[in-house]
């Protein structure tokens, strides 16, 4: 009674696992810290404060980045409390039918809601832009922000949709054969951004498939 | 697993936890102003009900609609065609209409299994209750409710003591619950008069007792089963009053439960029979909550079966064969 073929258990259309042999660090821990501090300042500058800012991280690593940005905004704006949440976009993905149904991540919308707020979406890597499109659709079902902006740690190019980031930690020119992997202390024990070629055999690669 | 959900025994521990975790996330949708996700746009879910049902049908319908699937309700009540033929013809019709999933309730045990195994349909089959056999989504929503109330909404039910009381013989809810709860590590006790226990119950992964007062003080949850008068054509107990006195949950018995224990009932209830009205309406009762949770759990099942290009539930190798034996044996 099982679906024929395709029993490898791999996910997604785009294998994104990094071949460890080719991986080289492009950002280290202090680079990431500086980038986040700069982005926090830019957000405050453009929004003229942080009063109505709501940070929504896209799981998994965007959530930790959003939390870190929230702490920095609070210290820049003298203890202003910036709401931080998480926005899972799984149910809005346009590639759901290309693989088995995926497990969901947590969505946590801050109690203040997003109506009339300046929502800053936070993600680790901006690539095709499809994740952000899905995030915009998801936001639409949750409320009506005053404006939506996008902050990413790494912009690796190769957009497939008319989407750009408002705040970029680092612009990283890549080829499509390459893949970018963000490590964060909250999940991986250390901070680093690695660039390398994709693992040769996607079917044999471990399951965590992010950017 | 499997493209289908026929029996709670089809689910591995990982499958069950994936469904419960997914339901936990989907439960938040109910709190939003727009209670809808686009995930199953363009998919068709047919509710094929050969037997009366309010909450299960409405629950599946709400679940499918919240995921943006198209829902067709097919009430086959009154059909006089014999089981095999009518099922086949109906299935071929549904296949011709392009049903991606068929949610079936049938008075005959094994009907969903027949539908799933026949090759008549290309879509998924979800058992919404077949005869006295199984009702897996009810077991999932019960486990979801227990996990929320007893285990903080995470992990499994390892070591929790669950007591199921009443008409086990006619109860598909009991069978599915026993199987699923055992998978999730709970210790299940069935309490019923000997006449209302099925043959072979000693092979089920649970203990059996004829006395309700004994297991109550160490139960984390008590689930009262409905006395199914419509399936009773023989004398299973002397009088309703005697049944109620020996196996009904009244205030005195509820007081014997530990502080944290919950009282469950899959509905519809016979107030005053298996459960006293004051117990059903008490703060320990999760009866209304179970209905709410049913929608979340059914959304999770439909999403995991239909959301991708293949079901997300476990590897085919482990789960594809063993269902046949168990289902045939219960007919």
**B164-194 residue pLDDT tens:** 999 999 999 999 999 999 999 999 999 999 9
Task: Examine the pLDDT at B82 and tell me if it is beyond 60.
Answer: no
Q: Which residues in chain B are closer than 8 Å to A105, comparing Cβ atoms?
A: 25
DSSP B216-252: GGG-SEEEEPP--GGG--S-SSS-HHHHHHHH-B-HH
Task: Examine the pLDDT at A209 and tell me if it is beyond 50.
Answer: no
Is residue B91 in a domain? Answer: yes
Looking at residue B330, its pLDDT comes to 34
* CATH 1.10.510.10 for the A30-95+104-174 domain, yes or no: no
Task: Examine the pLDDT at B143 and tell me if it is beyond 60.
Answer: yes
Cα–Cα distance measured from residue B295 to residue B302, given in angstroms and rounded to the nearest whole number:
11
Is residue B331 in a domain? Answer: no
ipTM of this complex prediction, to 2 decimal places = 0.83
Domain membership of residue B23 as a residue range = 8-134+290-315
Q: Which residues in chain A are closer than 8 Å to B18, comparing Cβ atoms?
A: 103
Looking at residue B175, its pLDDT comes to 96
Q: Does A159 touch chain B (CB under 8 A)?
A: no
Q: Does A136 touch chain B (CB under 8 A)?
A: no
> Does residue B144 share a domain with residue B68?
no
Query: Checking DSSP bridges between strand B187-191 and strand B70-75, what pairing results, if any?
Result: unpaired
CB neighbours of residue A162 within 10 Å? 7
Is residue B323 in a domain? Answer: no
> Does residue B177 share a domain with residue B105?
no
Q: Do B25 and A105 touch (CB under 8 A)?
A: yes
Q: Which residues in chain A are closer than 8 Å to B322, comparing Cβ atoms?
A: none
Give A195→chain B minimum CA distance, Å.
Answer: 30
Query: Average pLDDT, whole number, for chain B?
Result: 89
3-class DSSP assignment, residue A167: strand
> Does residue B306 share a domain with residue B271?
no
Q: What is the tens place of the pLDDT at every residue in B211-260? A: 999 999 999 999 999 998 777 766 788 888 899 999 999 999 999 999 99
Going through chain A in order, the beta strands assigned E by DSSP cover: 24-27, 53-57, 84-86, 118-126, 147-155, 167-171, 178-183, 192-197
Is residue B325 in a domain? Answer: no
Q: Do A102 and B315 touch (CB under 8 A)?
A: no
> Does residue B118 share a domain with residue B254?
no
Is residue B214 in a domain? Answer: yes
Q: Looking at residues B133-142, what average pLDDT do you find?
A: 97
CB neighbours of residue A171 within 10 Å? 12
The band of A211, judged by pLDDT with boundaries at 50, 70 and 90, is: very low
Q: Which residues in chain B are closer than 8 Å to A137, comparing Cβ atoms?
A: 38
Q: For residue B260, what is the domain's CATH number?
A: 3.40.50.1370
Q: What is the tens place of the pLDDT at every residue in A62-102? A: 999 999 999 999 999 887 889 999 999 999 999 998 988 89
The band of B141, judged by pLDDT with boundaries at 50, 70 and 90, is: very high
Query: Checking DSSP bridges between strand B221-224 and strand B161-165, what pairing results, if any?
Result: parallel
Give A1→chain B minimum CA distance, Å.
Answer: 6
Strand arrangement, sheet containing A167-171: A84-86, A53-57, A118-126, A147-155, A167-171
Question: Comparing C-alpha atoms, which of B323, B324, B328, B331 is closest to residue B12?
Answer: B323
> Does residue B178 share a domain with residue B220?
yes
Is residue B321 in a domain? Answer: no
Give B319→chain A minimum CA distance, Å.
Answer: 9
Q: Do A96 and B36 touch (CB under 8 A)?
A: no
Provide CB contacts within 8 A for A5, sequence distance 6+: none
* Domain residue spans of chain A: 30-95+104-174
Q: CB-CB: which of A1, A98, A143 is closest to B2?
A: A1
Is residue B264 in a domain? Answer: yes
Q: Which residues in chain A are closer than 8 Å to B1, comparing Cβ atoms?
A: 2
- The torsion angles phi and psi of B219, rounded to 5 degrees, stand at -95, 140
Q: CB-CB: which of B18, B34, B305 is closest to A141?
A: B34
Is residue B327 in a domain? Answer: no
Q: Does B42 touch chain A (CB under 8 A)?
A: no
Q: Which residues in chain A are closer than 8 Å to B320, comparing Cβ atoms?
A: 1-2
The band of B132, judged by pLDDT with boundaries at 50, 70 and 90, is: very high
Which residue from A minimizes the CA distance to B124?
A1
Task: Examine the pLDDT at B70 and tell me if it is beyond 50.
Answer: yes
Per the structure, how many domains does chain B have? 2
Looking at residue B225, its pLDDT comes to 95
> Does residue B193 share a domain with residue B129?
no
Task: Examine the pLDDT at A5 and tell me if it is beyond 80.
Answer: no
> Does residue B188 share a domain with residue B73?
no
Q: Looking at residues A34-38, what average pLDDT do you find?
A: 97
Q: Which residues in chain A are closer than 8 Å to B311, comparing Cβ atoms?
A: 3, 100-101
Q: CB-CB: which of A92, A103, A141 is closest to B21?
A: A103
Which residue from B minimizes the CA distance to A115?
B33
Give A11→chain B minimum CA distance, Å.
Answer: 10
More confident residue, B33 or A161: A161
Q: Do A2 and B25 touch (CB under 8 A)?
A: no
Going through B69-147 in order, the beta strands assigned E by DSSP cover: 70-75, 101-106, 124-130
Looking at residue A16, its pLDDT comes to 62
> Does residue B99 share a domain with residue B164?
no
Q: Looking at residues B304-329, what average pLDDT do you find?
A: 56
First to last CA, chain A: 33
Provide CB contacts within 8 A for A199, sequence distance 6+: A15, A17, A18, A19, A205
Any idea which residue has 């619950």 for tokens? B177
Q: Do A141 and B25 touch (CB under 8 A)?
A: no
More confident residue, B45 or B318: B45
Q: Does B14 touch chain A (CB under 8 A)?
A: no
> Does residue B274 share a domain with residue B199?
yes
> Does residue B84 share a domain with residue B130?
yes
Give B125→chain A minimum CA distance, Å.
Answer: 10
> Does residue B172 share a domain with residue B127?
no
Looking at residue B267, its pLDDT comes to 86
């Amino acid at each position: 009674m099982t679906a024929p073929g395709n029993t490898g258990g791999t996910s997604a259309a785009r294998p994104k696992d990094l071949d460890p042999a080719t991986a080289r660090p492009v950002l280290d821990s202090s680079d990431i810290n500086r980038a986040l501090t700069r982005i926090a300042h830019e957000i405050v500058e453009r929004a003229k404060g942080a009063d109505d800012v709501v940070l929504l991280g896209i799981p998994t690593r965007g959530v930790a980045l959003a939390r870190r940005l929230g702490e920095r905004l609070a210290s820049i704006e003298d203890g202003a409390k910036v709401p931080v949440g998480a926005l899972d976009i799984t149910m809005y993905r346009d590639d759901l039918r290309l693989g088995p149904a995926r497990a969901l991540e947590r969505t946590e919308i801050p109690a203040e809601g997003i109506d009339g707020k300046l929502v800053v979406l936070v993600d680790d890597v901006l690539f095709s832009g499809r994740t952000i499109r899905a995030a915009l659709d998801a936001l639409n079902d949750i409320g009506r922000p005053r404006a939506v902006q996008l902050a990413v740690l790494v912009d690796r190019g190769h957009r497939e949709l008319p989407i750009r980031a408002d705040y970029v930690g680092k612009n990283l020119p890549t080829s499509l054969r390459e893949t970018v992997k963000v490590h964060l202390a909250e999940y991986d024990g250390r901070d680093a951004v690695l660039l390398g070629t994709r693992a040769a055999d996607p079917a044999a690669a471990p399951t965590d498939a992010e950017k | 697993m499997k493209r289908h959900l026929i029996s709670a025994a089809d689910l591995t521990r990982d499958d069950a936890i994936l469904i419960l975790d997914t339901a936990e996330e989907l439960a938040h949708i109910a709190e939003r102003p727009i209670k809808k996700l686009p995930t199953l746009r363009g998919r068709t879910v047919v509710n094929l009900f050969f037997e009366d049902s309010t909450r299960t049908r409405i629950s599946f319908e709400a679940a499918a609609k919240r995921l943006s699937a198209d829902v067709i309700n097919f009430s086959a009540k009154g059909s006089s065609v014999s089981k095999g033929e009518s099922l086949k013809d109906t299935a071929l019709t549904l296949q011709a209409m392009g049903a991606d999933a068929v949610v079936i309730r049938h008075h005959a045990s094994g009907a969903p299994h027949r539908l799933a195994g026949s090759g008549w349909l290309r879509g998924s089959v979800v058992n919404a209750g077949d005869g006295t056999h199984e009702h897996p989504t009810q077991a999932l929503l019960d486990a979801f409710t227990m996990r929320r109330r007893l285990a903080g909404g995470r992990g499994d039910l390892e070591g929790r003591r669950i007591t199921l009381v009443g008409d086990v013989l006619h109860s598909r809810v009991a069978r599915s619950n026993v199987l699923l709860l055992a998978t999730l590590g709970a210790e299940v006790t069935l309490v019923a008069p000997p006449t209302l226990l099925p043959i072979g119950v000693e092979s089920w992964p649970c203990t059996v007792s004829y006395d309700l007062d004994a297991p109550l003080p160490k139960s984390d949850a008590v689930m009262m089963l409905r006395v199914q008068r419509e399936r009773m054509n023989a004398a299973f107990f002397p009088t309703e009053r005697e049944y109620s006195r020996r196996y009904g949950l009244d205030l005195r018995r509820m007081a014997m439960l530990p502080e944290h224990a919950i009282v469950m009932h899959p509905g519809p209830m016979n107030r005053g029979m298996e459960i006293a009205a004051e117990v059903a309406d008490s703060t320990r009762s999760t009866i209304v909550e179970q209905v709410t949770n049913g929608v979340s759990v059914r959304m999770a099942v439909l999403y995991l079966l239909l959301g991708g290009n293949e079901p997300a539930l476990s590897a085919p190798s482990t789960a594809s064969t063993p269902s046949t034996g168990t289902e045939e044996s219960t007919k």
